[in-house]
Amino acid sequence: MPKIVDHDQRRREIVEVTWRFIARDGIDKLNLRDLAAAAGFANGGLKPYFPTKDSILTATFGYVAAATNARIEAGVRGREGLSAIEAFAHEVLPLDELRRDEARVAVHFWHMALGDQLLAQVNAQTMQTWRDMLDGWLVQLLGEGHPDARAARDGMINFMMGAQAGSVLDEEANSVQSLLEQLEHQLIALRRLAETIG
Amino acid sequence: MPKIVDHDQRRREIVEVTWRFIARDGIDKLNLRDLAAAAGFANGGLKPYFPTKDSILTATFGYVAAATNARIEAGVRGREGLSAIEAFAHEVLPLDELRRDEARVAVHFWHMALGDQLLAQVNAQTMQTWRDMLDGWLVQLLGEGHPDARAARDGMINFMMGAQAGSVLDEEANSVQSLLEQLEHQLIALRRLAETIG
């Protein structure tokens, strides 16, 4: 079915152009005309692939989330417990230019998701995926049913989300070195939690 | 000088209407016409107070930051060390509807600040104020020059920023009870840091 493959390929190309555009220029300036030009389509040429700007945005945020999650999956392979949590955080924290671009897109995304039910669902799905993964590693670290596991999990996710915003809004306090030390502080807290068991 | 007082009072009224508008309807729908109507001005009547939409936004974000910081100042009075850090976090974390509204405004603000140098400066100022306050309390807790104080400080700020985003985007995982438990997890990490000194 070459035609369908081609269709999916084109959609992916448009989404890749879109997320780079958002990372560089933000979301307010995003319009279908510029996007079509940047992706090498005639004006109006995106319609067969994405009927509305909103449908491009939903696909784009889904794409960035999927790309992050694919990296996480590769990063944590063969690891468990605290080592897996550390590898996971390394894929989310803005430790390089790609991840900083993802962080910029995330900040714009949160803004959109506050007023858009569909985008909010894309975000909720990613958060649920992250919670499920962390739950597994925290059981490996702390055993089943540790009373502090939930607070540790949701605090770690909030720390990472804040680091995404902080690293692109407040770069001085969130250099790569600083982010790694902040992560180490969080991991030490988890290690201490594990040491106090039984 | 009753006229100047009146001018300042009017500016404050406009800013108060603006931040409630942003918390409820977001920032994309914000326009001077609706804002004037909501604040009880004729169309075009905001011009003497704010010449542009951007000048209203800058003032509004400054106002929200100042309101939060005034609450922090009152909350930490007479406290020091870990107790002050806890009181500080209580004023930032979205533990009630006012703070959740502030968190919504913050998320829209970050989005704007990524593309607006002036708004980015308003944000940087608030972050610097918070870092300075935390520095003082961490010295009380850990003594001068503790090697982990910086990572603890910036990690705490990122945790709080992430909790602001999380509580309005991902409410289920960030109930008031959950936020308090997440904060307790962060505070325990600081207490352990203090216990390992000397």
- A99-123 pLDDT per residue, tens: 999 999 999 999 999 998 888 888 9
Here the ipTM equals 0.93
**A114 reaches B (C-beta below 8 A):** yes
Tell whether the model's pLDDT for residue A2 goes beyond 60: no
- Chain A: closest CA distance from residue B179 (Å): 8
> Quick one: DSSP state of residue A27?
S
pLDDT number for residue A135? 98
- Best residue in B101, B154, B158, B196 for a mutation probing chain A (most A CBs within 10 Å): B158
**Cα(B161)–Cα(B152) distance, integer angstroms:** 14
**B85 reaches A (C-beta below 8 A):** no
Nearest to A10 by CA among A68, A2, A71, A62: A2
Which ranges of chain B have pLDDT less than 70? 1-5, 198
pLDDT number for residue B172? 84
**Cα(A94)–Cα(A179) distance, integer angstroms:** 8
pLDDT number for residue A1? 54
Residues of B in contact with A162 (CB under 8 A): 157-165
Cβ distance of A173 and B181 shorter than 8 Å: no
pTM of the model: 0.94
**A113 reaches B (C-beta below 8 A):** yes
**A140 reaches B (C-beta below 8 A):** no
- Chain B: closest CA distance from residue A105 (Å): 9
The alpha carbon torsion through A55, A56, A59, A62 (nearest 10 deg) reads -110
**Cα(B91)–Cα(A141) distance, integer angstroms:** 32
pLDDT number for residue B117? 86
- The string of pLDDT tens digits covering residues A9-56 is 999 999 999 999 999 999 888 889 999 999 999 988 999 999 988 899
- Chain B: closest CA distance from residue A190 (Å): 9
